[in-house]
Amino acid sequence: MVGVAQLVEHWLVVPVAAGSSPVIHPMFEASTDVERETTTRSGISSDVPWQTVVWNDPVNLMSYVTHVFRSYFGYSKPEAQRLMLQVHQLGRAIVASGPREEMERHTEAMHEYGLWATVDRASL
Amino acid sequence: MRVTPEITGVLIEFSPMERELLETLLAQYDELVHDQLDDTDLTDDPALGRLFPNAYPDDADAASEFRKYTREGLVEHKSANSGLVAAALMSADDAGRLAVERDDAERWLPALTDLRLVLAERLGLRRDDDPLPNSDLADVYAWLGELQWSLVAALDPESAEEPDGFR
């Protein structure tokens, strides 16, 4: 995520050297790795706890992410900021857990807000 | 560009150039989004992949089901948001001022995020600390970010505060 200072940082920044390659986010690496085994989830009870995970990205404003967590999930300001900071500093945060269908709805909602979210099974 | 909070929402003031810029971006975005009505896997295209993320990166079948189930709704939702912003821009007075009600202003936020997501991919931004190049596109990206930040600050000042203990 970015804070306000970084929005105008480009006035001060030296352009990236030619030939440097951007880091590809692990998300995209996994999806293009044809040797990676994909597991199917069929047959697993939807009672097993599932999670909605929000991932960090270099675009979304910290203030906007906090705002989404407050507006959509109804988190308190301290809790919304805590989760936002977790996304920002650790790369991801679990923003909800429960039945699979509910987690898919939350994930879809996050996509509507322009956040990057995935559905995952809770670790047993 | 100036954003002022009001009781019913926000007052936004744009220069003619800013209005035209935003209108142009929204038109291009709308076209891009409508091209994605068929629920193809967009993981290979980073810009579109961010607008329509893969909800199940480890499960191709579940990912496909999720896409089928959500793609059309997402396209319509995103298109409606950008349409709302475009319509508001057309309602601006000669001085470039437009009053936006709170509920509508809330929908500007995801529209602006989506514009920035696409531009960020064009600019090659992948990590938090990637520097912006020195280009017109980068200036537009920064300007959109300032607009979005100003709107969040006007609608939800508490969320725009720096968190306690954040270095």
* Whole-structure pTM value: 0.83
Contact A16 B130 (CB under 8 A): yes
- Which residue positions in chain A have pLDDT lower than 70? 3-47, 124
In a domain, A63, yes or no: yes
3-state helix, strand, coil in chain A (%, to 5): 45, 15, 40
- Annotate chain B with three-state secondary structure: CEEEECCCEEEEECCHHHHHHHHHHHHHHHHHHHCCCCCCCCCCCHHHHHHCCCCCCCCHHHHHHHHHHHHHHHHHHHHHHHHHHHHHHHCCCCCCEEEEEHHHHHHHHHHHHHHHHHHHHHCCCCCCCCCCCCCHHHHHHHHHHHHHHHHHHHHCHHHHCCCCCCC
Interface contact A9-B132, CB threshold 8 A? yes
Residue found by looking up tokens 């597991």 in the block: A39
Which residues from B are below 8 Å from A9, CB to CB?
A: 131-132
**How far is it, in rounded angstroms, from Cα B33 to Cα B52?**
9
Within-domain flag for A99: yes
Task: Output the pLDDT for position A21.
Answer: 34
**Chain A residues within 8 A of B125 when measuring between CB atoms:** 22, 58-59
Structural domain includes residue A114: yes
Residue B94 near residue B109 (C-beta atoms within 8 A): no
- State the CATH number of the domain containing residue A114: 3.30.1390.10
Task: Inform me whether the C-beta atom of residue A111 falls under 8 Å from chain B C-beta atoms.
Answer: yes
Tokens read off for A114:
């322009």
The residue type of B116 is R
Give me the residue label for tokens 């690496």: A29
| Record: contact A118-B56, CB cut-off 8 A | yes
A113 is a domain residue: yes
Please give the residue range of the domain that contains residue A54. 48-124
Contact A85 B109 (CB under 8 A): no
- Domain count for chain A, please give it: 1
Residue from the list A14, A30, A114 with its beta carbon closest to the beta carbon of B57: A30
> A–B: how many Cβ contacts below 8 A?
162
In chain B, which residues have their Cβ closer than 8 Å to the Cβ of A60?
113
Q: ipTM beyond 0.90?
A: yes
pLDDT in single tens digits along all 167 residues of chain B:
999 999 999 999 999 999 999 999 999 999 888 887 777 777 667 778 899 999 999 999 999 999 999 999 999 999 999 999 999 999 999 999 999 999 999 999 999 999 999 999 999 998 888 999 999 999 999 999 999 999 999 999 999 988 776 65
